Amino acid sequence: MLVLGDAHADDPDNRRALFAAYRASDADVALQLGDLMYYDLPKPTWFVAGNNEDFDTIAALRNGLVSNSEVRNANLLASTAVDVDGVRVAGLSGNYAPTQYDRPRANLVAERRRHFTREDVERAMALQSVDVLLTHEAPHGLPVAEDYDVGCSHVDDLLSVLDPELCLVGHHHQHAEATLENTRVVSLAPTWERYYTLDPDSLSLTWFETPDG
């Protein structure tokens, strides 16, 4: 299956790269790690919301209310799980803000809807038999180069409870890998640089340069 990092596909050049990755992979299904920002997709795609999205669309997807010609093949994983090609895939949408974490999700408005809450994490922790976990926020221990300390303890806890074989992370726009306890954790490069394929049997991940759109 196709695996994609951040897309920021509201930008026309990035959108062309996104569609070039779909064409080049020739996969039937895709996983995407957030900051998608364009939701009319050529193949069935399961994604987690990032910190840059159309949050009205994300809210509608959370509630199963989308009936819109501009949303096609976009399936949100928001503390939910699905079987994709025999792989149990779960997702935690959003990023962490300490001031919003203990608020009810229903009380988050406007841009604050970008964040995950305690109830989102608790719902995700109740999922079972997860093979691959998708997050936009990284756990501690992932060697990405930022000018701040990367890692969220709530994502650490989620990894510990779910114990997936593979965790795929967006947000940082760079490829990096670590093994944390029993889980291989991979931060994905953005879609305009690379696309990835995931073997559903071995869960091995291979990357390719994204061709010109």
Instruction: Answer positive or negative: Cα dihedral of 167, 124, 82, 17.
Output: negative
pTM more than 0.85: yes
Per-residue pLDDT tens digits for 130-164: 999 999 999 999 999 898 999 999 999 999 999 99
Per-residue pLDDT tens digits for 63-92: 887 767 789 999 999 999 999 999 999 999
Q: Which of 122, 93, 123, 124 is nearest to 108 (CA)?
A: 93
pLDDT higher than threshold 90 for residue 165: yes
Q: What b/e readout covers 4-41, taking b as 16+ CB neighbours within 10 angstroms?
A: bbbbbbeeeebbebbbbbbeebebebbbbbbbbbbbeb
Per-residue pLDDT tens digits for 85-123: 999 999 999 999 999 999 999 999 999 999 999 999 999
Q: What is the mean pLDDT of residues 169-176?
A: 97
